Structure 1
Amino acid sequence: MSIQLRGLLAALTLLATTSQAHAWWPFGKDTSYADTRYPIVLVGGIIAFDDIAGVDYFYGIADNLRDYGAQVYESNVSALQSNEYRGEELIVQIENYLAVTGADKVNLIAHSQGAPTSRYVAAVRPDLVASVTSVHGENRGTALADVIRGITPEGGITEGLADSIAGAFGALWEFA
């Protein structure tokens, strides 16, 4: 066998074994590589949205996973609420997804504030959650939240004002 043919075969073997082989393989599309035992639920962060002016919050990840065999649902929790509040909303949504699919649990993939929201659900309802994956999660709070807390002491009038402003913005955001 010639050196060129060996090199070509080695390159094809290497490419065929990479995680992106499905994207270029000329002999048919592997439509099951993203198939998981449990459905996937995507959980967005603070002021998350489905689609605004053609911009998808999860940048087409849900559709891509569906194209390759996964059952994917995109949660819709409040834009500006506590992790506990959002977590309780997420529990209701997960229960609905499980009722539709017949699955026992879900895999949560969370972004930003979706991470502590998902961890809340996993802590209070572990029977619903197979896994939690956090992408850029607010696992230790944020610098902005620390600054805001510094100028709005808990229980003070400025906290009430800031809460009202945030609530109004959140309602407007969700309406839009």
Structure 2
Amino acid sequence: MNDRRTEKPLTVARIQMLWMGNLFLTIFLVSVVILSIWLVNRLLDDGFKETFLSLWYPILMIVILENLLFWGGIILVYVTSVQLGLKMRIIGIACGMIPVVHIIVLIMIISITGREARFEKAKMKLDEQRSAQQICRTKYPILMVHGVFFRDMKHLNYWGRVPAELEKNGATIYYGNHQSALSVENSAKELALRIKNIVEETGCEKVNIIAHSKGGLDTKFAVAALGVSPYVASITTVNTPHKGCEFADFLLGKAPAGLRDKVAAAYNGTFKKLGDTTPSFIDAVTDLTASRATEISGYIDQFDFKGAGVYTQSIGSWMKKATSGAFPLNMSYSFVNKFDGPNDGLVGEPSFHWGEHYTFLENKKKRGISHADMIDLSRENIAGFDIREFYVQLVAGLKERGL
């Protein structure tokens, strides 16, 4: 019954092609610079006519070889690179014929793809070295629970490259499969049913739950109020607004009723087409307000999770600055900061705390860690923070606890 929704892992062949493409472009750039200097010197010494008559054939061969190097390299990196991104690919095409600028852009492409190739080769080597240890083979399988406004999809994993990395290291993964936007209580009902089904169909006895954002509230409610605590070994919430979001109270209070209804109708209609049966935009957003989330948490946290044998922990992160996140979190960061203080682009740091153990992630580099980064949404290799390895060590920690 193991859900096969992990994205196709980077293969050895793909990394080799990326490395080869990067090498071709590097050789092209260096050789073009050297040959250009040499050719200019010959032209200055012998003149154009003499140089052309004596060197036309070697020059023709060089032009052909340089074209093969460039186009071979650029095609390989465009096809195989993840980190290059759509923006850089477009810039590369747009600037290809602009003198000097195209050299600068080419250097950027070589730099990005070179770092990616080195990073992925190092990760592959690490996974090979510890393969026999199966450090993520926990006693109970992992149930990964998505946040609001997303669905678990077969070909676009909410958790990015993380599940594939966990499986490589021995983990068994399942997904919540609940609707994208419901009240906390209704989402919890769907999760409770999902948990029972997994346990009944696989005989695994319990699951370890890793829940992102609102998924953490949904999970807590399911365990505390819907009778599934005997089937849950641990709960790890990731950037969950346990105390809600102050900015959500402000927006709901200020937004005209007509606008709210139009947005809700558009959202609900769209996600019904994507597979939801009874999505409710307004119910989901309302339960994320500070006033409502505090009320829900006050009720839920009366439950003795530890006494029920459920290990609990929470994780949070922050962006440091607006430019640490991609759109729309780069736009929301400053706004959220006015209401909730230091935040991940959506949730304020004080709202992350919950459970027996709390981990707050701060990147030592300039780049912060956003709400979306915590689920590898952009599939970006962030300098100073390896999201895939973070989850590997997180699950390895559960294994060490005997869970």
Alignment TM-score, normalising by the size of structure 2: 0.34
Deviating runs (4+, > 3 A) in structure 1?
20-23, 25-28, 160-165
Return closer, same or farther for 1:62/1:174 CA change in 2, 3 Å cut-off. Answer: farther
Residue 175 (structure 1) aligns with: 273
Aligned match of 1:162 in 232, 257, 260?
260
Q: Does 1:93 align with 2:191?
A: no
Q: Is the 8 A contact 2:214 2:241 kept in 1?
A: yes
Q: Does 1:142 align with 2:236?
A: no
Q: Give the unaligned 5+ runs of structure 1.
A: 1-19
3-state SS of the aligned residue for 1:30? helix
Query: Which one has a larger percent helix, Structure 1 or Structure 2?
Result: 2
- Give the counterpart letter for 1:112 in structure 2: S
Query: Which one has a larger percent strand, Structure 1 or Structure 2?
Result: 1
Residue 112 (structure 1) aligns with: 213
Residue 389 (structure 2) aligns with: none
Residue 281 (structure 2) aligns with: none
RMSD: 2.9
How many positions carry a matched residue from both structures?
A: 151
Q: Is the 8 A contact 2:137 2:171 kept in 1?
A: yes
- Give the counterpart letter for 2:126 in structure 1: W
Percent of paired sites with the same residue = 29
Return closer, same or farther for 1:164/1:27 CA change in 2, 3 Å cut-off. Answer: closer
3-state SS of the aligned residue for 1:41? strand
- Give the counterpart letter for 1:106 in structure 2: V
Return closer, same or farther for 1:175/1:144 CA change in 2, 3 Å cut-off. Answer: farther
Q: Is the 8 A contact 1:87 1:118 kept in 2?
A: yes
Residue 166 (structure 2) aligns with: 65
Distance in 2, matches of 1:73 and 1:64, equals 14
Aligned-residue offset at 1:81: 0.8
Q: Is the 8 A contact 1:44 1:110 kept in 2?
A: yes
Aligned-residue offset at 1:145: 2.0
Larger RCO: 1 or 2 (CA < 8 Å, sep 6+):
1
Q: Is the 8 A contact 2:147 2:214 kept in 1?
A: yes
Distance in 2, matches of 1:106 and 1:58, equals 18
Aligned-residue offset at 1:24: 2.1
1:53-101, Cα deviation, whole Å (9 max, x unpaired): x642101222222222111101121211111100000011111111222
Q: Is the 8 A contact 2:188 2:221 kept in 1?
A: yes
Aligned match of 1:33 in 118, 130, 135?
135
Return closer, same or farther for 1:26/1:41 CA change in 2, 3 Å cut-off. Answer: closer
Aligned match of 1:48 in 150, 168, 183?
150
Q: Is the 8 A contact 1:50 1:56 kept in 2?
A: yes
Return closer, same or farther for 1:72/1:56 CA change in 2, 3 Å cut-off. Answer: same
Aligned-residue offset at 1:139: 1.1
Q: Does 1:128 align with 2:128?
A: no
Q: Is the 8 A contact 1:106 1:129 kept in 2?
A: yes
28-37 or 56-65, which deviates more: 28-37
Distance in 1, matches of 2:205 and 2:262, equals 39
Q: Is the 8 A contact 2:188 2:222 kept in 1?
A: yes
Q: Is the 8 A contact 1:47 1:170 kept in 2?
A: no
Alignment TM-score, normalising by the size of structure 1: 0.72
Q: Is the 8 A contact 2:149 2:180 kept in 1?
A: yes
Larger Rg: 2
Distance in 2, matches of 1:131 and 1:101, equals 18
Return closer, same or farther for 1:168/1:96 CA change in 2, 3 Å cut-off. Answer: farther
Distance in 1, matches of 2:262 and 2:196, equals 31
3-state SS of the aligned residue for 2:132? coil
Q: Give the unaligned 5+ runs of structure 2.
A: 1-121, 275-403
3-state SS of the aligned residue for 1:100? helix
